[in-house]
């Protein structure tokens, strides 16, 4: 009887001593759940669509090749330390090829419609400051929430029905590093595509 009670107590202690958690649960708890909706709307509207730094593609390429340092200072942005910078860009062209991942344009540039996961739109907008975030996780969570809105909500609607030969206008963001110079064409992460 005593042994049975002892075993039972031991089992209860053991059961309460060890907790198994999924990695995703652990990180979710750490980063918390923050509602970024208002911030995302503001980044898209004020930081991208209405931003006076939005530069025509041909003009941007010219400025990048002319003097990258000045172009970065005048038009680019990046949070933290790194050699590349992010720029807002708009243009017009005809669709030369289209897949579920990308739109290849007749002017040589490419619009990436699937892999919108990086810091291009966030940083080019100049609407996010490191000082506003006490934690890296919150900053990363904002980035992913912003990208998700563009990637899964905005762009699928705007690319629906597009085909080779369509003339489109587009605006978005791109990343340029010193090793990309001279730039001939851009890879654009779109925020708006119009037919």
Partner 1 sequence: MKYVLALCGLLLFGCSSKEPAEKPKIAVVISTLNNPWFVVLGESAVKNAEKLGYEAKLFDSQNNPATESDHFENLISSGFDAILFNPTDADGSIANILKAKEAGIPVFCMDREVNSNDAATSQILSDNYTGCVAIGVEFVKQLHGKGNYVEILGLAGDNNTYARSNGFHTVVDKFKGLKMMGQQNGDFDRNKAMEVMESMMQANPDLQGVFCGNDAMALGAYQAIQSAGKSQQIKVFGFDGADEVVQKIKEGKIVATGMQYPKIMAKTAAEFAVEFFKGRKDFPQHIPVAVNLVNAKTSKNF
Rule CB under 8 A: which residues touch partner 1? 23-24, 26-27, 30, 78-84, 115, 117-119, 130-131, 133-137, 139-140, 143-144, 177, 179
Q: Which residue has the tokens 């709307």?
A: 41
Smallest gap, in angstroms, from Cβ of residue 140 to partner 1? 5
- Residue whose CB is less far from partner 1, 31 or 107: 31
- Residue whose CB is less far from partner 1, 27 or 169: 27
- Residue whose CB is less far from partner 1, 144 or 158: 144
- Residue whose CB is less far from partner 1, 90 or 151: 151
Name the DSSP letter for residue 79. S
Smallest gap, in angstroms, from Cβ of residue 82 to partner 1? 3
DSSP-derived 3-state class of residue 60: helix
Smallest gap, in angstroms, from Cβ of residue 115 to partner 1? 5
Name the DSSP letter for residue 101. S
- Residue whose CB is less far from partner 1, 14 or 81: 81
Give me 27's structure tokens. 């990180």
Smallest gap, in angstroms, from Cβ of residue 27 to partner 1? 5
9: left (phi over 0), alpha (psi -120 to 50) or beta: alpha
Q: Of 148, 145, 143, 194, which Cα lies nearest the Cα of 171?
A: 194
Q: Of 151, 145, 124, 131, which Cα lies nearest the Cα of 31?
A: 145
Say how far apart CA 34 and CA 170 lie, in whole Å.
30
Q: Of 91, 86, 121, 87, which Cα lies nearest the Cα of 103?
A: 91
- Residue whose CB is less far from partner 1, 115 or 165: 115
Residues in Cβ contact with 46 at an 8 Å cutoff, skipping those fewer than 6 apart = 125, 127
């Amino acid at each position: 009887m005593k042994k049975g009670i002892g075993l039972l107590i031991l089992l209860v202690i053991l059961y309460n001593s060890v907790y198994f958690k999924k990695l995703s649960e652990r990180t979710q708890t750490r980063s918390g759940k923050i509602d970024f909706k208002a911030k995302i709307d503001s980044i898209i509207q004020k930081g991208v669509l209405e931003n006076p730094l939005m530069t025509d593609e041909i003009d941007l390429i010219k400025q990048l090749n002319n003097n990258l340092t000045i172009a970065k200072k005048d038009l680019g942005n990046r949070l933290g330390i790194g050699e590349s910078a992010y720029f807002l860009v708009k243009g017009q062209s005809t669709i030369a090829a289209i897949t579920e991942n990308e739109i290849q344009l007749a002017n040589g540039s490419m619009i990436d419609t699937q892999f919108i996961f990086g810091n291009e739109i966030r940083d080019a907008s100049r609407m996010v400051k490191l000082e506003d975030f006490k934690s890296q996780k919150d900053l990363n969570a904002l980035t992913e929430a912003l990208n998700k809105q563009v990637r899964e909500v905005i762009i699928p609607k705007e690319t629906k029905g597009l085909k080779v030969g369509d003339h489109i206008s587009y605006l978005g963001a791109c990343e340029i590093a010193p090793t990309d110079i001279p730039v001939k064409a851009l890879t654009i992460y779109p925020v708006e595509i119009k037919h």
